[in-house]
Amino acid sequence: MIIYFILAVVGLLLGITAILFGFGGGFAVVPLVYHVFPAYGLVSAADARYAMQIGVATSTAVMIVGTMYSTLKHHLAGHIDWPSVFPMAAYIAVGSALGAYAATLMPGAVLRVVFIVYIVGVIADCVFRKGFIDDAGGHEFHRMGGIAEAGVGVVIGAIASLLGVGGSVMTVPLMRRHGARMEGATALANPLSFPVAIVGTATYVLAARHHHIDLGPDYLGFVHLPAFAILSVFSVAGVELAQRAIPKMPDKIHAYTYVGLLILVVVTMLL
Span 75-114, pLDDT tens digits: 888 888 888 788 888 999 999 999 999 988 888 889 889 8
- Residues 9-31 have pLDDT tens digits of 988 988 888 777 776 666 778 88
pLDDT at res. 18: 77
Q: Given pLDDT bands bounded at 50, 70 and 90, which one contains residue 186?
A: confident
Mean pLDDT taken over the chain:
84
pLDDT at res. 137: 53
pLDDT at res. 24: 63
pLDDT at res. 97: 92
* 3-state SS track over the chain: CHHHHHHHHHHHHHHHHHHHHCCCCHHHHHHHHHHHCCCCCCCCCCCHHHHHHHHHHHHHHHHHHHHHHHHHHHHHCCCCCHHHCCCHHHHHHHHHHHHHHHHHHCCHHHHHHHHHHHHHHHHHHHHHCCCCCCCCCCCCCCCCCHHHHHHHHHHHHHHHHHHCCCCHHHHHHHHHHCCCCHHHHHHHHHHHHHHHHHHHHHHHHHHHHHCCCCCCCCEECCEEHHHHHHHHHHHHHHHHHHHHHCCCCCHHHHHHHHHHHHHHHHHHHHC
- Residues 26-72 have pLDDT tens digits of 677 888 888 888 888 888 888 888 998 998 899 889 888 888 888 88
pLDDT at res. 127: 85
pTM of the model: 0.80
% of the chain with per-residue pLDDT over 70: 93
Q: Average the pLDDT over 147-155 and give the result.
A: 85
More confident residue, 236 or 269: 236
